[in-house]
Amino acid sequence: MQWTNNERGYGWLSIALHWIAAAIIIMMLLTGFRAEQLGEAGDRAGRAAAMGWHISIGGALALILLIRVISSYVQKRPTPIEQPRPLMLLAGATHHLLLIGILLQIVSGPLAVWSGGRAINIFDLFSLPSPFAERNGGAHELAETLHAIGRWIIIIFGSLHVLAVIRHAFGKTGVMRRMLAPPASN
């Protein structure tokens, strides 16, 4: 069983982390945008509940996302498929920007909560106390800005990534197969 990547394809570790991270990111975007909608509608209780879910999911699963980012850089990369050079550069940039966006969220999310003077409550099971003695307005504004930037990086380059997957699915390049199972052993 191939756990790590090689030049022919991705291993089970990368494949699993890719799909788990995708599911976490979708959950985070849905709960975050839902909290924003409820806040704009004036539903403070609904917004607080949605933010509670958003923060709990993020706090509980941030380590998995961090492992995803790190493993992407420490493991060997499969040989890229043949395509025009501009598309290869775009694919590489998209991959790196998605990972940077994830990393921004992992750092700015907890910082936004803590700098707001609150602990990170994870599903009412336990809390991660704030390293700040009190609310820190400057750090909070920076964290909120970075979190918004990270969110839009993920939305823009995640969409570009999905469009590339669709392009490859119709082009029968085998790229999608590489993210579903490791290559067969010879």
- The tokens for 6 are 């090689």
Q: What is the pLDDT of residues 139-167, one digit of tens each?
A: 999 999 999 999 999 999 999 999 998 88
Report CA torsion sign: 64, 57, 18, 100: negative
Average pLDDT of span 97-112: 97
Query: What pLDDT score was predicted for residue 152?
Result: 97
pTM over 0.85: yes
Q: What is the pLDDT of residues 78-94, one digit of tens each?
A: 998 888 999 999 999 99
Average pLDDT of span 2-9: 92
Question: The tokens 């494949």 sit on which residue?
Answer: 15
* For the chain, domain boundaries: 12-178
Confidence of residue 186 (pLDDT cuts 50, 70, 90): low
